[in-house]
Structure 1
Amino acid sequence: MPLTHRPVRAEDVLAICNFPQTPKELFFMFPKAQYPLTDDQLLASIAQRSDSTVVEENGSVIGFANFYKFEREGVCAIGNVIVSPKARGKGVAKFLVETMVGLAIDRHRASEVQLSCFNENTAGLLLYPQLGFVPFEIEERLSPDGRRVALLNMRLLTQAQPSDIPCA
């Protein structure tokens, strides 16, 4: 069955909270959260963000992402990207990121879509350039265990044209 996407619903939150299997996975998805991810932490993030979206396959939620920055005719930044452990390596993240890029263009007329990826997130570092994202900045961060890590900020320039369409 093909992958589909829709806005997140309250009943999806518990499933999404179970996607990060380790503190490291949660750090990649949501650096400010404390492991294990709780519904309160995720709901607070959803409330502050835009376009929280899930990917479904056969009626099961298998992916999640949203925008932590969303400017009209400017920049949208994708965050909280996570795929269910049972669905990894099957193209779900690619579908999810492509879906979010589409939402950035269609709903926000974004001329640029950004995302960030930690240097230890090999899957992300291999995927995002395949989708056209290029690094533009590296920030030093601390991992939950206090080690220095690099956060690669990447961007994709879109073909969105300025218009008078307001943000959704």
Structure 2
Amino acid sequence: MQLSHRPVTHADIPALCCFPQGPDELFYMFPKATYPLTPEQLSDAIAQRSGSTVIEADGVLVGFANFYQAEHGGVCALGNVVVAPAARGKGVARYLVQSMLALAREQFAARELWVSCFNHNTAGLLLYPQLGFVPFAIEQRRAPDGSRVALVQMKQMCNA
């Protein structure tokens, strides 16, 4: 599987909306959205964010992420991270996060890359430390059903 990345285009949005496979996955990807993810919701998020990037495997969309915060010379905060169901467990998330780290360095001269991960997102909680992220805070949030969840904040220095 040959992976590549590029900026998102309007034509990518309908396919990306199919990646979250239920309300829980959408909550991990985009807590403010309501399931099912619509092109309007995703387009609005993209318009308010920076660095929206897609990952392709042999020309097929398999991943997406952006920055909900991007301070030149400061912090870039990774958001809307999602991998297509058929591409999970194949290194796409690793490539996606590494691509976004490079973008944070190159486009924003960021000092740190932050990522937030809900406690039920086992795949994310296992992946991010493998990529050099270190937890620094835990915040209480509410899941769509009103239950309490923990949002684990992690960061990585960009010059590492």
TM-score norm. by structure 2 comes to 0.98
Give deviations 1:96-135, integer Å, cap 9, x for gaps.
Answer: 0000000000110001000100000000000000000011
Quote the residue 2:118 is aligned against: 118
What amino acid does structure 1 have at the position aligned with 2:3? Answer: L
Distance 2:5 2:80 in 1: 15
SS at match of 1:19: coil
Whole-Å Cα distance in 2 between the matches of residues 55 and 82 of structure 1?
Answer: 10
SS in 1 for 2:36: coil
Q: 2:104·2:158 contact (CA, 8 Å) conserved in 1? A: no
Q: Which residue of 2 aligns with 1:106?
A: 106
- Regions of 4+ moved over 4 Å: none
Q: TM-score, normalised by structure 1?
A: 0.94
Q: Superposition RMSD on alpha carbons, in Å?
A: 0.8
Aligned to 2:62: 62
Please give the alpha-carbon distance, in whole angstroms, between the structure 1 residues aligned to 2:129 and 2:154: 9
SS in 2 for 1:90: coil
- Counterpart of 2:18? 18
User: What SS class does the counterpart of residue 98 from structure 1 fall into?
Assistant: helix
Mapped partners of 1:140, 1:48: distance in 2: 24
Separation in 2 of the partners of 1:5 and 1:111?
Answer: 22
What residue number does 1:53 align with? 53
Aligned residues: 160
- 2:154 equivalent in structure 1: 154
Extract unaligned runs of 5+ from structure 1: 161-168
* 1:65 shift after superposition: 0.1
Report 1:73-112 matches (<5 A): 73-112=73-112
Q: CA deviation at 1:86?
A: 0.5
In structure 2, what is the equivalent of residue 143 of structure 1? 143
Q: Which residue of 2 aligns with 1:166?
A: none
Give, in whole Å, the separation in 1 of the partners of 2:65 and 2:98: 11
Question: 1:63-120, CA deviations, whole angstroms, 9 ceiling, x for partnerless residues?
Answer: 0000000001000000000000000000000000000000000110001000100000
Q: For residues 85 and 159 of structure 1, what CA distance do their matches in structure 2 show? A: 32
Describe the superposition over 1:35-54 as per-residue Cα deviations: whole angstroms up to 9, x where unpaired: 00000000000000001000
Does the 8 A contact of 2:26 with 2:35 survive in 1? Answer: yes
The structure with the largest alpha-carbon Rg is 1
Any gaps of 5 or more consecutive residues in structure 2? none
CA distance in 1, matches of 2:158, 2:28: 25
Q: Distance in 1 between matches of 2:20 and 2:112?
A: 28
